[in-house]
Amino acid sequence: MKIVFDSGVLITFSETCFLGLFEDLKKELGEFIITNSVLDESVLRAKKIMRFKLSGIRIEEKINFNVFNIFKGSKELDEVTKKILELTNNMFYINNRPLKIIQLGEAECLALLGLTNANYLAVDERTTRMLIEQPHGLLKILKRKNNTNKISFDENKYIKFKELIGNVNAIRSVDLLAFAYKKKLLKDLYLNKENIKASLYAFKFRGCSVSFEEINEFVDNL
């Protein structure tokens, strides 16, 4: 199995002190891949800001230990990234104006999915996750967010987008932590359901898109 990681997941794990889990998760799940943009955001730029420096140092250590493989830039990656930016940011229209829904770093991760035949994109951000799995659900959210029903969705652009990224799904930080719990990869302290619930709450408040109802469901099913 191959998983491409967005920077948000790495930062969530780092800031909640669960980053060490990735060594055991890799043994269970397969290859972990990041792009140069993710390296730049989660390590290089983070280390220049004292508030985020410790997180960047922690992530860099895992990269140096080959827990994450960096996909070196290529002309093909640049070309596919550009196509994905054009498709996704011209897929939803409001009053005949395109809605910009993803940034360059996210587009690069999406492009890498198809180029590496990855199985999953690890991403905490809701828009990118729903774009992959539930575009019509994303359309409803965009209508609600913009307080209008006059938002259109270009199905043909979505089909072309899916052809570029392949048959993949999204996975969040909370999904990875729940998997670690079920595989007994966590320290004994976190095998207590109340403590794992607290950990899932911490992930939510670090930026992982998960509802309180989902967290309760996670805990009930553990």
Tokens at 57, concatenated? 């140092």
CA–CA gap between residue 190 and residue 178 (Å, rounded): 11
pLDDT of residue 143: 94
Rounded Cα distance, 118 and 165, in Å: 9
Provide block-wise average pLDDT over 10 residues at a time, the chain (222 residues): 96 95 96 96 96 96 96 92 97 92 94 95 96 95 91 96 95 95 89 92 94 92 82
Report percent pLDDT > 90 for the chain: 90
**What SS3 class is residue 28?**
helix
What tokens does 169 get?
A: 């799904």
Alpha helices in the chain (DSSP H): 7-15, 21-29, 36-39, 50-64, 75-88, 104-116, 126-133, 135-145, 155-165, 173-182, 193-205, 212-221
CB 55 within 8 A of CB 216: no
80-101: pLDDT as tens digits: 999 999 999 999 999 889 999 9
Task: Report pTM.
Answer: 0.93
**pLDDT for res 44:** 96
Task: Kindly list the domain boundaries of the chain, sorted by start residue.
Answer: 2-72+171-221
